[in-house]
Amino acid sequence: RPRQRQRQYVRSMWLTAPKNTWPRYSKTGITMQLLDTRRGVQHFTFEHHREYQQVQFKFLDAVESMDPNNIVLLLQMNPYHVDSLLQLSDVCRMQEDQEMARDLIERALYSLECAFHPVFSLTSGTCRLDYRRPENRAFFLALFKHLMFLEKRGCPRTALEFCKLILSLDPENDPLCVMLLIDFLSLRAREYSFLTRLFQEWESHRNLSQLPNFAFSVPLAYFFLSQQEERPELERSQARERAARLIQLALIMFPSVLMPLLDHCSVQPDARVASHPFFGLNAQISQSPALNQLTSLYVGRTHGLWKDPAVMAWLEPHVHEVLRMVEAQDALVQEAEHK
């Protein structure tokens, strides 16, 4: 019996498993409260108690000192202080100590999960956190940083699940703009049906086709679906038709994507495409800085998926079809110019 009393109870965790190398966990002064329930959606918030606030002030002083050693000292006294763990993780990442950087993020997630409200669920899709409340931000940031580490380690399916989780916490505002990332992770994880379903269900109220990443990734997902031999021929045929229609629409809406994409893929366009003003430098110069940024982010992230020779062979005739439509002053092209 005395031995049984000494056993430490380890609760099962969803986000990360505690490691033997970590310091022993003790309550940090973070709790979570249920604010209200509206239309079946529960709104929660993290709260910092007085003792945690005092550590937070010491953390801000340590950051202002510009000396990472001060954060290390703070963590020796408070090994589960979340903001210190996030900050030191960034320092380790910049020093290329990826293993330690990832470990610190996992410890931050563990600390936050230990503070969860009993009815807060990661899987229900009906639990919300407001990013505008400073106490909630660390959870969003820890999830996002963990997601990025997972993707770099070659775990795109798990990274996609974390991306869905972040989106579920505040789907209306999407404070970390994971909608600019979720298409890439879906393609990397080969979750093509999820991406096409998300597009179908959200397009009407979110105008996803107005984002270059969705405009190009959704037809690519349909193309990959059309190549899956285990699917019925009717499904594959429908996927081919949707892929063709949507990639042409994407090229018309965002002509500035094509040339940087081909460049990143080390593909030389043929003379007609290279010399045509529709896809030329003017397409990039004439668009807004914000759209330039979105285009650059998309091409930088996804060019590896487009580099596949089968994808390029599929893309080429659609590029020529779009040029034919441009020269014929097709109604679709005219409409896109006025958007």
For residue 8, tell me if it sits in a domain.
no
CA distance 303 to 266: 10
Residue type, 250: A
For residue 315, tell me if it sits in a domain.
yes
Q: What distance lies between CA 61 and its chain's CA centroid? A: 31
For residue 220, tell me if it sits in a domain.
yes
Shared-domain flag, residues 322 and 228: yes
What would the two tokens of residue 263 be?
Answer: 């460049």
Element (H, E) at 33: strand 30-38
Shared-domain flag, residues 322 and 224: yes
Shared-domain flag, residues 312 and 335: yes
pLDDT at 12: 67
The position carrying tokens 């529960």 is: 42
The position carrying tokens 């959870």 is: 139
- For residue 32, list its beta bridge partners: 46
Shared-domain flag, residues 149 and 205: no
Domain boundary among 171, 196, 220: 171
Mean pLDDT (10-residue bins), the chain, 339 residues: 45 84 92 95 97 95 94 96 97 96 97 95 94 97 98 96 97 97 98 98 93 98 96 95 98 96 95 91 84 96 97 97 92 80
Q: Strand order in 41-48's β-sheet?
A: 30-38, 41-48, 127-129
> How many distinct structural domains can be found in the chain?
2
CA distance 178 to 167: 7
Domain boundary among 148, 171, 194: 171
Domain boundary among 142, 171, 200: 171
pLDDT at 267: 94
CA distance 73 to 185: 37
- For residue 275, list its beta bridge partners: none
Q: What is the CA radius of gyration of the chain?
A: 24
Shared-domain flag, residues 186 and 167: no
Q: With b meaning 16 or more CB within 10 Å and e meaning fewer, what string describes 249-263?
A: bbbbbbbbbbbbbbe
For residue 16, tell me if it sits in a domain.
no
Shared-domain flag, residues 102 and 245: no
CB 110 within 8 A of CB 151: no
The residue range of the domain holding 285 is 177-339
pLDDT at 141: 98
Element (H, E) at 136: helix 134-152
Shared-domain flag, residues 158 and 181: no
What would the two tokens of residue 126 be?
Answer: 């009906």
Taking alpha carbons only, the member of 204, 201, 206, 156 closest to residue 181 is 156
Shared-domain flag, residues 189 and 337: yes
pLDDT at 9: 43
Shared-domain flag, residues 207 and 121: no
Taking alpha carbons only, the member of 133, 205, 214 closest to residue 177 is 214
Shared-domain flag, residues 206 and 98: no
Sign of the dihedral through C-alpha 51, 53, 58, 63 = positive
Q: What is the CATH number of the domain that holds 164?
A: 1.25.40.10
CA distance 316 to 334: 22
Q: With b meaning 16 or more CB within 10 Å and e meaning fewer, what string describes 46-56?
A: bebeeebeebb
For residue 12, tell me if it sits in a domain.
no
pLDDT at 337: 76
SS3 content of the chain, % helix, strand, coil (to 5): 65, 5, 30
Element (H, E) at 297: helix 289-306
